[in-house]
Amino acid sequence: MLRDGQADFVEILIDNFLHVEPEDMATALDGAPVAFHIMHSRFLERTEAQLAFMASRIRTMARELRPFYISDHLLRFTVDGREVPFLPELDYGRTYDLVCQRVTSWQEQLGTPVLFENYPSIFDSGLEQPAFLERLFRETGAGLLFDVSNAVCAHRNCQLPLAAWDTLLERSTHFHVGGYEPSSEAPFVSLDLHGSPLADDTLDYLGRVFSRTSTAATISVERDNHVELEPWRADILAVRARWEQHA
């Protein structure tokens, strides 16, 4: 897709490549612009000493590959010390001070402001997410990597109005979008599994997002399951069509 001009850049899930030499990454990418996405830093749970190796490796990669953003996730990997198979949302009412301090030190370790992705909320506590992020970004200098379909999932699951993101959207320039699917068991919720085509409500909202942001810089079309060229290409072309309608 890069060769055919359908994709303009690559967002690399960088923690999958920390063992690769940066020069080899650069050779493989052959000059394609890149962004970094971090999935498993667990920066809210690990100590600074534990994070030091990953941070130094990512900084080395960044010096070679010059990503135009580094992004990470605000979520949990453990509950009361136990590993869980599902990555739960933060408890926004109780964790602000800890998250603020951790975001500040993770950005210092990485040597750059970091973009954090919004969570596809399932429970009503997700209603607190936009206000929590607005305060966090104001106080830490971090920013939002706005995942359009995660906002749609939160809207479907806990009725968080899409308009709740408007203030954050005005300052956002980097976006994600992907497919969601219903959970396999009742009560059925929408999960960001990134294995199916973009849904109609996602594409409709994407049009609204584009109409509010004259400064959109990038959008990554995510595929984690059923990673096949043709359906992925179809999603990218659908996103391009929405962009062109609003450009």
Least Cβ distance, residue 199 to Fe ion (angstroms)? 15
Least Cβ distance, residue 119 to Fe ion (angstroms)? 10
* Residue among 102 and 176 whose Cβ is closer to Fe ion: 176
What single-letter DSSP state applies at residue 127? G
Tell me how far apart the alpha carbons of residues 182 and 127 are, in angstroms, rounded to a whole number.
20
Say how far residue 168 (Cα) sits from the centre of its chain: 14
* Residue (of 102, 169, 109, 163) closest to 136 by Cα position: 102
Contact flag: residue 176 with Fe ion (CB under 5 A): yes
* Residue among 147 and 235 whose Cβ is closer to Fe ion: 147
Contact flag: residue 102 with Fe ion (CB under 5 A): no
* Residue among 26 and 238 whose Cβ is closer to Fe ion: 238
Rg (alpha carbons) of the chain, rounded to whole number: 18
* Residue among 72 and 147 whose Cβ is closer to Fe ion: 147
Least Cβ distance, residue 154 to Fe ion (angstroms)? 13
- Number of neighbours of residue 226 by Cβ within 10 angstroms: 13
Least Cβ distance, residue 193 to Fe ion (angstroms)? 11
Residue 53, both tokens: 């190796």
Sites for Fe ion among residues 146-175 (CB under 5 A): 147
Least Cβ distance, residue 186 to Fe ion (angstroms)? 26
The residue with its CB nearest to Fe ion is: 176
Least Cβ distance, residue 2 to Fe ion (angstroms)? 20
In the chain, where do the E strands start and end? 10-13, 34-37, 70-73, 78-79, 82-83, 115-117, 143-147, 174-178, 181-182, 190-191, 218-222
Tell me how far apart the alpha carbons of residues 207 and 79 are, in angstroms, rounded to a whole number.
37
* Residue among 73 and 82 whose Cβ is closer to Fe ion: 73
Binding mask 120-149 toward Fe ion (x if CB under 5 A, else -) reads ---------------------------x--
Binding footprint of Fe ion on the chain (CB under 5 A): 147, 176
